[in-house]
Amino acid sequence: MAVLVDGNELVLTGTVGAYWFEDGFSASDVSGALARLGRDSDITVRLNSGGGIATEGTAIHAAFAAHKGRVDIVVEGIAASAASIIAMAGNSVTMALGAVMMIHDASTIAFGDAGELQKRLTGSLSSRSLHSAAARRRRCTLFSRKGLDRAIS
């Protein structure tokens, strides 16, 4: 089970997004769990994920950001890729001893003519990831690569 509700804790493990061949969790799973916990309750999210679908991570981030209670994120093993976007939604983010967070530029697969490929090359997924990191640090502007490195260190 990739989403587990235990008291006021929400445990998220596996791949971000619904893959038929992997254990994972979706934005729908998380929204349902939040509804069971209650919109005003303070919660702890225990996260261990190597990532997955960036837009699912963004949707889960939005669900946690809209939650009216306090959201404390504990990265228990890894919060990589899409899972790092989720982690940025916490009022606090705690890394367990030995835990890892990985933030990287988004990647995708594209098919189409030159115009479609150019759109993919200049897409906004990386900008969204940078914006989440900026918001986590209570900043209003998007960071360059060097600025992001300074902001999260």
- Residues 17, 76, single domain; the answer is yes
- Residues 18, 74, single domain; the answer is yes
Domain count along the chain: 2
- Residues 80, 119, single domain; the answer is no
Kindly report the CATH number assigned to the domain that includes residue 89. Answer: 3.90.226.10
**Judging by DSSP bridges, how do beta strands 3-6 and 9-13 pair with one another?**
antiparallel
- Residues 41, 11, single domain; the answer is yes
- Residues 120, 75, single domain; the answer is no
- Residues 70, 15, single domain; the answer is yes
- Residues 100, 115, single domain; the answer is no
pLDDT digits (tens, 9 = 90+) for 15-65: 999 776 778 999 999 999 999 999 999 999 999 999 999 889 999 999 999
- Residues 60, 84, single domain; the answer is yes
Phi-psi region of 125 (alpha: psi -120 to 50; beta: other; left: phi over 0): alpha
pLDDT digits (tens, 9 = 90+) for 104-150: 876 767 788 888 877 776 665 554 554 555 455 443 334 444 554 55
- Residues 131, 72, single domain; the answer is no
Find the domain containing 125 and state its range: 107-153
pTM of the predicted protein model: 0.77
